[in-house]
Amino acid sequence: MKKSIAYLKLIDLLNGLVFYAPVALLLRTSRGITIPQFFSLQIILYLTTCLAEIPCGFITDKIRYKNTIILSLGLMTLARIQFIFADSFYIFVIEAILEGIAISFMSGTMNAYIYQLLGEEDFEKNMSSIDNYGTVGFISSTILFSFIYKIGGMNTLVILTIISTLIAFIISFFLLESHYQENTKNSLKETELFKRTSFWKISTYSSLFSLGMIVINYFYVVKLEVLGIDETYMSGVILLYSFVQLIIPKILDKLNKNKTQYHVKAFLCLAGICFLILYFSNNIIVTLFMMSIISTIIMIPYYIFSGIQNNYIDQLNLHDNLSTILSIFNMGNNIVSIASFIFFSMNVNIDGLNIFLMVGILYIIIAILYKNIYIENK
Give the pLDDT score at 2.
Answer: 74
Give the pLDDT score at 338.
Answer: 72
Task: Report whether pLDDT(188) > 70.
Answer: no
Q: Parse the chain into domains and list their residue ranges.
A: 2-177+188-369
H or E element that contains 201: helix 197-226
Would you say 114 and 303 are in contact if contact means Cβ atoms under 8 Å apart?
no
Give the pLDDT score at 231.
Answer: 67
2-177+188-369 has which fold? Growth Hormone; Chain: A; (1.20.1250)
* Model pLDDT for residues 331-375, shown as the tens digit of each residue: 777 777 777 766 765 655 556 678 888 889 999 998 888 876 555
* Model pLDDT for residues 231-243, shown as the tens digit of each residue: 667 778 888 999 9
Split at pLDDT 50, 70, 90, the class of 10 is: very high
Give the pLDDT score at 150.
Answer: 87
Stretch 306-320: mean pLDDT: 75
Stretch 170-176: mean pLDDT: 91
Stretch 119-124: mean pLDDT: 70
Give the pLDDT score at 186.
Answer: 44
Q: Which residues of 124-143 are buried (b: 16+ CB within 10 A; e: fewer)?
A: bbbbbbbbbbbbbbbbebbe
Q: Which residues contact 358 (CB under 8 A, 6 or more apart)?
A: none
Asked whether the whole model's pTM tops 0.85, one would answer: no
Stretch 45-59: mean pLDDT: 85
Give the pLDDT score at 219.
Answer: 79
Percent of the chain with pLDDT over 70: 87
Residue bearing the bigger pLDDT, 334 or 168: 168
Task: Give the number of other Cβ atoms within 10 Å of residue 254's Cβ.
Answer: 8
Task: Report whether pLDDT(96) > 60.
Answer: yes
Cα separation values, 44 from 93, 99, 155, 334, Å: 7, 10, 24, 11
Q: Which residues contact 200 (CB under 8 A, 6 or more apart)?
A: 194
Give the pLDDT score at 283.
Answer: 92
Split at pLDDT 50, 70, 90, the class of 290 is: very high
Split at pLDDT 50, 70, 90, the class of 319 is: low
